[in-house]
Structure 1
Amino acid sequence: MIKKISFYAFLFFLTTYLSAQSPAKYWIQFTDKNNSEYSIENPDRYLSERAIEKRKMFNIPITETDLPVNQLYINNILNLDTGIVLFTKSKWFNAITVYTEDSLFSEKIQKLPFVKDWERTISMKETEHFVHKDSIYIYKIDRGEVEKKSLPRELNYGETNRQIRLNNVHWLHRMGFYGENIVLMVMDAGFHNVDTLKYFQNLRDEQRLLGVRNFVQLGVNPFKKMSHGTMVLSCIVGYMPDKYVGTAPKVSVYLAKTEDERSENKIEEDNWVAGIEWADSLGVDIVNSSLGYTKFDDSTATRKYEDLTGRVSRASIAADIAIEKGLIICNSAGNEGNKKWYYIGSPADAHNVISVGATNNKGKIAPFSSHGPTADGRVKPDACATGWNTEVVHPRGRVIPSNGTSFASPMLAGMVACLREAFPEKSNFEIIQAVRLSGSKAEYPDRDMGYGITDFLKAYNYLKYNYIDLNEANHQFIPRIKNFVVNEQTLELKINSNFKQTIYFQIEFQKSKKVLKKKIPVKMGINDIKIKLPKTKLAYDFINLKIFRDDDKFEFLLGIEK
Structure 2
Amino acid sequence: MKNRFWIVLSVILLTSALAAQQGSEKLTPGMKARIADNSPGTSHLVWIYFTDKGDISVFKQGDYTPVSPKSLERRKKVTAPGTLPYDESDLPVNSLYISRLEQSGIQIKHISRWFNAVSAYATAAQLQYIQSLPFVKLADPVALLKKPARIQEDEPVSLLKQPDGVYVFNYGNSFAQLNQIKVPEVHNLGITGQGVTIAVMDAGFNRLSHESFNTMNIIAKWDFVNNDPGVGDSTDMGYGGHGTQTLSTIGGFKEGQLIGPAFSSAYILAKTENTDSETPIEEDNWIAAAEWADSIGADVFSTSLGYIGFDAPYPSYTWQSMDGNTARITIGADLAVKKGIVVLNSAGNEGFHSTQNTLGAPSDGDSVIAVGAVGSTGNRSSFSSVGNTVDGRTKPDIMARGSSVTVASTSSNTGYTTSSGTSFSCPLAAGVAALVLSANPTLTPMQVRDALRNTASNAAAPNREMGWGIVNALSAISYFVTPVEGWSMRASYISGRLNLEWQTTSESNNYGFEPEYSFDRLNWQSAGFVEGAGTTMQARVYNFSILLNTTASKIFVRIKQIDLGGSFRYMNEIEIDNILPAEFALLQNYPNPFNPSTRMKADIPEAGNLNIEIYTVTGERAMVLFNGAVAPGQFSADFTPADLPAGIYLARAVFQGVSGQKVSQTTKMTYLK
Residue 289 of structure 2 is aligned to residue 275 of structure 1 = yes
Partner-residue secondary structure (3-state), 2:475:
helix
What residue number does 1:326 align with? 340
Asked if 1 retains the 8 angstrom alpha-carbon contact of 2:143 and 2:282, the reply is no
What residue number does 2:328 align with? 314
Deviations 1:376-403 (A, max 9, x none): 1111111100111111112113311111
Residue 380 of structure 2 is aligned to residue 356 of structure 1 = no
Q: CA separation of 1:120/1:376 partners in 2, compared to 1, >3 Å: closer, same or farther?
A: closer
Asked if 2 retains the 8 angstrom alpha-carbon contact of 1:265 and 1:297, the reply is no
What residue number does 2:529 align with? none
CA drift of 1:85 comes to 3.4
Gaps of 5+ in 2: 1-37, 145-165, 234-238, 484-536, 538-673
User: What letter corresponds to residue 231 of structure 2 in structure 1?
Assistant: P
What residue number does 1:7 align with? none
User: What letter corresponds to residue 87 of structure 2 in structure 1?
Assistant: T
Number of residue-to-residue matches in the alignment:
416
Residue 52 of structure 2 is aligned to residue 32 of structure 1 = yes
CA distance in 1, matches of 2:244, 2:434: 19
Q: Normalization by structure 1: what TM-score?
A: 0.70
User: What letter corresponds to residue 267 of structure 2 in structure 1?
Assistant: V
Q: CA separation of 1:171/1:44 partners in 2, compared to 1, >3 Å: closer, same or farther?
A: farther
What residue number does 1:197 align with? 210
Partner-residue secondary structure (3-state), 2:479:
helix
CA drift of 1:44 comes to 4.5
Partner-residue secondary structure (3-state), 2:435:
helix
Deviations 1:200-237 (A, max 9, x none): 1111xxxx101111111123732113211111101011
Residue 135 of structure 2 is aligned to residue 114 of structure 1 = yes
CA distance in 2, matches of 1:77, 1:36: 20
Partner-residue secondary structure (3-state), 2:142:
strand
- Taking the TM superposition and a 5 Å limit, the aligned residue runs for 1:539-554 are none
CA distance in 1, matches of 2:329, 2:278: 14
CA drift of 1:21 comes to 5.3
What residue number does 1:532 align with? none
Residue 86 of structure 2 is aligned to residue 71 of structure 1 = no
Deviations 1:120-159 (A, max 9, x none): 3379xxxxxxxxxxxxxxxxxxxxxxxxxxxx97111001
Q: CA separation of 1:45/1:78 partners in 2, compared to 1, >3 Å: closer, same or farther?
A: farther
Partner-residue secondary structure (3-state), 2:293:
helix
Deviations 1:86-112 (A, max 9, x none): 221111110011235x55222222221
Q: CA separation of 1:419/1:264 partners in 2, compared to 1, >3 Å: closer, same or farther?
A: farther
CA drift of 1:170 comes to 1.4
Asked if 2 retains the 8 angstrom alpha-carbon contact of 1:40 and 1:63, the reply is no
- Taking the TM superposition and a 5 Å limit, the aligned residue runs for 1:32-431 are 32-36=52-56, 39-41=59-61, 44-59=64-79, 61-81=85-105, 84-99=106-121, 102=123, 104-121=125-142, 154-194=168-208, 196-203=209-216, 208-219=217-228, 221-224=230-233, 225-262=239-276, 268-299=282-313, 301-338=315-352, 343-397=358-412, 398-431=415-448
Partner-residue secondary structure (3-state), 1:177:
coil
Asked if 2 retains the 8 angstrom alpha-carbon contact of 1:336 and 1:342, the reply is no
CA distance in 2, matches of 1:40, 1:234: 42
CA drift of 1:302 comes to 3.4
Tell me which of 427, 430, 434 is aligned to 2:451. Answer: 434
CA drift of 1:245 comes to 0.7
Gaps of 5+ in 1: 1-17, 124-151, 467-505, 507-562
Q: CA separation of 1:42/1:235 partners in 2, compared to 1, >3 Å: closer, same or farther?
A: farther
Q: CA separation of 1:264/1:32 partners in 2, compared to 1, >3 Å: closer, same or farther?
A: farther
Q: CA separation of 1:287/1:44 partners in 2, compared to 1, >3 Å: closer, same or farther?
A: farther
Partner-residue secondary structure (3-state), 1:301:
coil
CA distance in 1, matches of 2:252, 2:58: 40
Asked if 2 retains the 8 angstrom alpha-carbon contact of 1:185 and 1:255, the reply is yes
CA distance in 2, matches of 1:265, 1:285: 32
Asked if 2 retains the 8 angstrom alpha-carbon contact of 1:343 and 1:371, the reply is yes
CA drift of 1:309 comes to 1.0
Q: CA separation of 1:43/1:390 partners in 2, compared to 1, >3 Å: closer, same or farther?
A: farther
CA distance in 1, matches of 2:286, 2:312: 18
CA distance in 2, matches of 1:165, 1:223: 31
Partner-residue secondary structure (3-state), 2:59:
coil
Partner-residue secondary structure (3-state), 1:234:
helix
User: What letter corresponds to residue 199 of structure 1 in structure 2?
Assistant: S
Q: Does 52-61 or 214-223 show the bigger shift? A: 52-61
CA distance in 2, matches of 1:263, 1:352: 32
CA distance in 2, matches of 1:347, 1:411: 18
What residue number does 2:596 align with? none
Partner-residue secondary structure (3-state), 1:419:
helix
CA distance in 2, matches of 1:58, 1:312: 24
CA drift of 1:30 comes to 0.5
Asked if 2 retains the 8 angstrom alpha-carbon contact of 1:43 and 1:52, the reply is no
User: What letter corresponds to residue 272 of structure 2 in structure 1?
Assistant: T
CA distance in 2, matches of 1:385, 1:40: 44
CA drift of 1:20 comes to 7.6
Asked if 2 retains the 8 angstrom alpha-carbon contact of 1:40 and 1:64, the reply is no
Asked if 2 retains the 8 angstrom alpha-carbon contact of 1:332 and 1:405, the reply is yes
Asked if 1 retains the 8 angstrom alpha-carbon contact of 2:302 and 2:426, the reply is yes
Asked if 1 retains the 8 angstrom alpha-carbon contact of 2:262 and 2:434, the reply is yes
CA distance in 1, matches of 2:401, 2:200: 18
Determine which structure has more spread, i.e. the larger CA radius of gyration: 2
CA drift of 1:35 comes to 1.4
Aligned-residue identity in percent: 36
Q: CA separation of 1:311/1:38 partners in 2, compared to 1, >3 Å: closer, same or farther?
A: farther
CA distance in 2, matches of 1:162, 1:373: 29
CA distance in 2, matches of 1:453, 1:391: 18
Asked if 2 retains the 8 angstrom alpha-carbon contact of 1:121 and 1:267, the reply is no
Tell me which of 424, 444, 447 is aligned to 2:464. Answer: 447
CA distance in 1, matches of 2:87, 2:464: 37
CA distance in 1, matches of 2:42, 2:207: 35
What residue number does 2:527 align with? none
CA drift of 1:297 comes to 4.8
CA distance in 1, matches of 2:372, 2:62: 41
CA distance in 2, matches of 1:71, 1:153: 55
CA distance in 2, matches of 1:92, 1:335: 29
CA distance in 2, matches of 1:299, 1:21: 17
Asked if 2 retains the 8 angstrom alpha-carbon contact of 1:236 and 1:249, the reply is yes
CA distance in 2, matches of 1:436, 1:212: 31
Asked if 2 retains the 8 angstrom alpha-carbon contact of 1:87 and 1:218, the reply is no
CA drift of 1:264 comes to 6.9
Partner-residue secondary structure (3-state), 1:462:
coil
Shift >6 Å, 4+ stretches: 264-267
Partner-residue secondary structure (3-state), 1:329:
strand
CA RMSD, Structure 1 to Structure 2 (Å): 2.6
